[in-house]
């Protein structure tokens, strides 16, 4: 990593670790008190449904607004375009949230023979829907901080929000999952408030200049992204709803597994993408060759961190899950099920890394249509495979098929990108380094597996010892097999 980015990256890692730790404490208490019951299923379903609302707007902020902000001037027309664009996104989400709350309120008032679980889910949706307006606002304000190379303010705001959202479940004598939802909503308000204070006088104001031509261009770029998001959210909701019909506790199990995997994504993938995406937009706008080099280097570095973590989860994930959740209503059988789900879902992370970096290249080239088209075909394939294979393989189809489609979409997007900008991996550096990473991580995993069988300590010392051994073994292997790449990367860097 270039020296310019090392310090903010390390600080982001520390803040992310603190945030993930605070979130884990909250989830540990939820698991202890509510286990894998119907209430947790309802809470997680409501979370999934409400987050899908803002996930229509957030990809547009990331893929359209950030590249525009990195290249914008300071003209009146550009400022008006930014104000109108952001105001349009916030208004759109507010309207969807208002319609959702109104519709649910009518259903609950008329009591249309609803089950207790469905009634709870709808109640949670009403509360969590409000949070989504602030979630979009937070993403907008974070984008303004990132293009100014301020990557820490948003992390601090998220940490404060996460701590606040967990206060109730930790201190309450007899907590209610409904109040857990309420505190989560208020925490998003707090996060937005912190960022509003930091962005005071800098970011945007509510304004509607519908005739602005730059705004029209931004909307044209946004259309494919939002359409793709709609299709993706339908696929996600389909998978989650399908899991809820396959058996009680499956939605909760998926949620616990994804919470652990999100630690890897938050620590590594999200932080690196956050740091390099504004730079990628600038570099690709200047020199295609430098942009390709940046893409290859950061994809390799990201998977150099992600793949050994995935292998580690496969081998010692059960210890980690037990340490986090196995107490109270959360049983040893629940631990085994969460670990199995987590392992199957984790296999797809390297494909997700490659796909997300490839898509960022497209977005840096102001091309939002191609990734959207690829995603649409991928999601259609995902739904068709789920419909075909779920009756045969049950929940395992839901776990395996989306990961398979991650790799398929990454490969297809890469091939199309090469047709557009020419050969990317001329020296096959990306392929060679990925194979070396898999080899090193596999050796580490084998060592951990055999050492684990020989240890008779309690879970915490065993887990910590295995983590230390894994880091040491993998570190030695990287030095022996990939030292030249690391030295080249550190010495050359990438001009930004």
pLDDT of residue 3: 53
pLDDT tens figures, 67-97: 787 776 778 888 888 888 888 888 888 888 8
pLDDT bracket for residue 494 (50, 70, 90)? very low
Give the per-residue pLDDT at 446: 96
440 pLDDT band (50/70/90 cuts)?
very high
Least confident piece of the model among 157-161, 325-329, 405-409, 479-483: 325-329
Write out the H or E segment, with its range, that includes residue 488.
Answer: helix 459-492
Question: What pTM was estimated for this model as a whole?
Answer: 0.69
pLDDT at position 6 is 66
Which range is least confidently modeled, 19-28, 153-162, 229-238, 375-384?
229-238
Report the percentage of the chain scoring pLDDT > 90.
14
**Residues 384-431: tens digit of each pLDDT:** 898 899 888 888 888 888 888 888 989 999 999 998 888 888 778 888
pLDDT digits (tens, 9 = 90+) for 179-196: 888 999 999 999 999 988
**pLDDT value, residue 52:** 74
pLDDT grade, residue 160 (50/70/90)? Answer: very high
Nearest one of 264, 332, 339, 334 to 303, comparing CA atoms: 264
Q: How confident is the model at residue 469 (pLDDT cuts 50, 70, 90)?
A: very high
Closest CA to 78 of 87, 68, 88, 64: 68
Neighbours of 358 (CB within 10 A): 25
Average pLDDT over residues 297-324: 90
pLDDT of residue 424: 87
> Among the ranges 11-15, 50-54, 219-223, 320-324, which has the highest mean pLDDT value?
320-324
294-303: average pLDDT? 87
Three-state SS annotation for the chain: CCHHHHHHHHHHHHHHHHHHHHHHHHHHHHHHHHCCCHHHHHHHHHHHHHHHHHCCCHHHHHHHHHHHHHHCCCCHHHHHHHHHHHHHHHHHHHHHHHHHHHHHHHHHHHCCCCCHHHHHHHHHHHHHHHHHHHHHHHHHHHHHHHHCCCCCHHHHHHHHHHHHHHHHHHHCCCCCHHHHHHHHHHHHHHHHHHHHHHCCCCCCCCCCCCCCHHHHHHHHHHHHHHHHHHHHHHHHHHHHHHHHHHCCCHHHHHHHHHHHHHHHHHHHHHHHHHHHHHHHHHHHHHCHHHHHHHHHHHHHHHHHHHHHHHHHHHHHHHHHHHHHHCCCCCCHHHHHHHHHHHHHHHCCHHHHHHHHHHHHHHHHCCCCHHHHHHHHHHHHHHHHHHHHHHHHHCHHHHHHHHHHHHHHHHHHHHHHHHHHHCCCCCCCHHHHHHHHHHHHHHHHHHHHHHHHHHCCCCHHHHHHHHHHHHHHHHHHHHHHHHHHHHHHHHHHCCCC
Q: Which residue range forms the structural domain that includes residue 351? A: 3-492
Q: What percent of the chain has pLDDT over 70?
A: 92
Number of domains the chain is built from? 1
Query: Does residue 1 have a pLDDT over 60?
Result: no
Residue 495 has pLDDT above 50, yes or no: no
Structural contact between residues 322 and 463, judged by C-beta atoms closer than 8 angstroms:
no
The whole-number pLDDT of residue 360 equals 85
| Whole-number pLDDT of residue 203 | 65
């Amino acid at each position: 990593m270039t020296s310019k980015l090392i310090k903010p990256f390390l600080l982001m890692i520390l803040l992310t670790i603190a945030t993930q730790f605070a979130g884990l404490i909250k989830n540990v208490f939820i698991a202890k008190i509510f286990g894998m019951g119907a209430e947790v299923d309802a809470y997680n379903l409501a979370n999934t449904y409400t987050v899908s609302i803002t996930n229509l707007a957030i990809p547009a902020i990331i893929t359209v607004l950030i590249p525009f902000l990195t290249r914008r001037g300071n003209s009146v027309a550009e400022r008006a375009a930014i104000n109108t664009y952001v105001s349009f996104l916030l208004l759109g989400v507010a309207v969807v949230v208002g319609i959702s709350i109104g519709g649910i309120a009518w259903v609950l008032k008329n009591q249309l023979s609803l089950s207790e679980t469905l009634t709870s889910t709808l109640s949670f949706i009403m509360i969590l829907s409000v949070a989504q307006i602030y979630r979009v606002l937070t993403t907008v304000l974070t984008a303004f901080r990132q293009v100014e190379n301020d990557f820490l303010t948003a992390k601090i705001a998220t940490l404060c929000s996460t701590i606040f959202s967990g206060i109730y479940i930790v201190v309450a004598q007899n907590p209610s999952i409904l109040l857990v939802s309420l505190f989560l909503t208020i925490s998003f308000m707090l996060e937005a408030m912190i960022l509003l204070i930091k962005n005071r006088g800098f970011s945007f104001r509510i304004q509607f200049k519908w005739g602005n031509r730059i705004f029209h261009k931004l909307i044209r770029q946004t259309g494919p992204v939002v359409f793709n998001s709609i299709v993706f959210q339908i696929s996600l909701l389909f998978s989650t709803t399908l899991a809820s019909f396959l058996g009680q506790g499956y939605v909760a199990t998926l949620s616990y597994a994804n919470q652990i995997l999100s630690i890897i994504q938050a620590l590594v993938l999200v932080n690196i993408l956050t740091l390099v995406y504004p730079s990628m937009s600038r570099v690709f706008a200047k020199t295609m060759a430098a942009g390709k080099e940046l893409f290859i280097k950061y994809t390799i570095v990201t998977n150099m961190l992600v793949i050994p973590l995935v292998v580690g989860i496969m081998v010692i994930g059960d210890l980690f899950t037990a340490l986090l959740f196995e107490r109270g209503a959360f049983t040893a059988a629940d631990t085994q099920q969460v670990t199995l789900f987590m392992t199957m879902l984790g296999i797809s992370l390297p494909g997700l890394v490659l796909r997300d970096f490839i898509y960022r290249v497209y977005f840096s080239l102001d091309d939002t249509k191609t990734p959207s088209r690829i995603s649409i075909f991928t999601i259609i394939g995902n739904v068709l495979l789920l419909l075909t294979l779920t009756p045969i393989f049950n929940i395992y189809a839901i776990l395996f098929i989306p990961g398979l489609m991650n790799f398929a979409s990454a490969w297809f997007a890469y091939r199309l990108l090469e047709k557009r900008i020419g050969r990317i991996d001329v020296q096959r550096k990306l392929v060679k380094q990925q194979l070396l990473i898999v080899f090193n991580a596999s050796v580490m995993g084998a060592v951990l597996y055999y050492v684990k069988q020989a240890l008779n300590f309690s879970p915490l010392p065993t887990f910590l010892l295995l983590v230390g051994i894994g880091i040491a073994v993998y570190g030695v292997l990287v030095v022996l097999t990939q030292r030249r790449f690391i030295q080249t990367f550190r010495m050359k860097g990438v001009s930004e």
